[in-house]
């Protein structure tokens, strides 16, 4: 199983500062660790890889992981490239049909939440527009030439 971690966001130009040795640019809140001699020291964090819940990121534990690419590998397995939108981690693995079905169910549940939120926002926006229109009618602010 492959696991890649990518920077969570691209800093804006006004956030970037030059390091003291002026060889690399870093954002103030994302500076790499340095040894006493000032050299870059890579830090590793051991993260347990769980294939039970594919929608959960193994790096940041975010619950919005989604499939980026997928290919059937036989009748009961799928090779899936997963991406976390929170930390931009990418994970590739060979998963069982059951695990992929669980991911699909979770994606459907998330899509349902998004659709309900969109419907609520649309209703709120329409109610606001109706109120403004009613006030405009009551105050004679709408004329025949407006149509």
pTM: 0.56
Question: The domain containing residue 126 runs over which residues?
Answer: 1-6+56-139
Helix then strand then coil, in percent of the chain rounded to 5, is 35, 20, 45
Q: What is the pLDDT of residue 22?
A: 40
In a domain, 43, yes or no: no
In a domain, 116, yes or no: yes
In a domain, 26, yes or no: no
In a domain, 36, yes or no: no
Q: What is the pLDDT of residue 37?
A: 52
11 close to 27: Cβ distance less than 8 angstroms: yes
Tell me the pLDDT tens digit for each residue of 63-104: 999 998 999 998 899 999 999 999 999 999 999 999 999 999
CA torsion angle 94 98 104 105 (round to 10)? -150
- How many domains is the chain built from? 1
Burial of 67 (0-12, 13-18, 19+ CB in 10 A): middle
In a domain, 120, yes or no: yes
Task: Give me the residue label for tokens 């039970």.
Answer: 52
Q: What is the pLDDT of residue 30?
A: 39
């Amino acid at each position: 199983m492959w696991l890649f971690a990518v920077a969570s966001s691209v800093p804006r130009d006004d956030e970037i500062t030059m390091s003291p040795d002026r060889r690399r640019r870093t954002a103030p809140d994302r500076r790499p660790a340095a040894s006493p001699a000032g050299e870059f020291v890579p830090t590793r964090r051991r993260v347990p890889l769980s294939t039970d819940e594919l929608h959960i990121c193994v790096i940041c534990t975010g619950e919005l992981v989604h499939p980026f690419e997928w290919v059937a590998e036989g009748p009961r397995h799928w090779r899936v490239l997963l991406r976390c939108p929170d930390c931009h981690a990418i994970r590739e693995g060979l998963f069982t049909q059951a695990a992929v079905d669980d991911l699909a169910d979770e994606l459907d549940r998330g899509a349902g939440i998004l659709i309900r939120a969109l419907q609520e926002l649309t209703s709120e926006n329409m109610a606001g527009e109706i109120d403004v229109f009613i006030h405009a009618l009551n105050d004679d602010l709408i004329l025949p030439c407006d149509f």
